[in-house]
Amino acid sequence: MLKFDYEKIHGKNITEVHGENVRVMNDGSFECDRIVIDVATAALELSVNIDTDELIIELHEPYENTPGTLSNINDYLNFVGRKLGWVWTAKNYRGYDDAFMLALGEAVPDALDPAYAFVGAGSSICVYSVTPLKLPETNRLRP
């Protein structure tokens, strides 16, 4: 359960995306310590508790980019100009928010299907692209 009313930003166009301590790893994976997704009226902020790896998900007034702290990460994520769709959180067995999933788009299925997952791990936010599992014809259930 989010600690703010997501409806305030649901369906809004993303105007900027910034990250703190951005790292592209040797295997091409992407992680950072904080992600700020700006829409015209607010900023959705994801950060991680370094002791528990819990994601902290908050809504703030829009940020102004602070040089040296936040850097533009839209080239990695391609969010700007897209609409915020549905969101989901995932809790671990201890009750911590360990993952946050985000749909991007205004039309079904894009607005309802998760496109990205943000996972708190190793004191960082690891970003994953979410795609549907496509099974070979031989593995599909038959009626």
Question: Per-residue DSSP letters for 36-99?
Answer: EEEESS-EEEEEE-TTT--EEEEEESPPPP-TTT-EE-HHHH--TTPBEEEEEEEE-TTS-EEE
The residue ranges of every structural domain in the chain are: 6-130
pLDDT digits (tens, 9 = 90+) for 83-104: 999 999 999 999 999 999 999 9
Peptide bond into 109 cis (omega under 30): yes
Q: In sequence order, what are the beta bridge partners of 100?
A: 89, 118
pLDDT digits (tens, 9 = 90+) for 43-84: 999 999 999 999 999 999 886 645 567 889 999 999 999 999
* pLDDT for 10 beyond 80: yes
- Which of the two residues, 111 and 80, has the higher pLDDT score? 80
Q: How far apart are CA 39 and CA 96, in angstroms?
A: 26
User: What pLDDT, on a 0 to 100 scale, did the predictor assign at position 134?
Assistant: 80
What value does the mean pLDDT of the chain take? 89
In this predicted structure, which of 32-41, 57-66, 116-125 has the lowest mean pLDDT? Answer: 57-66
What three-state secondary structure class fits 115? coil
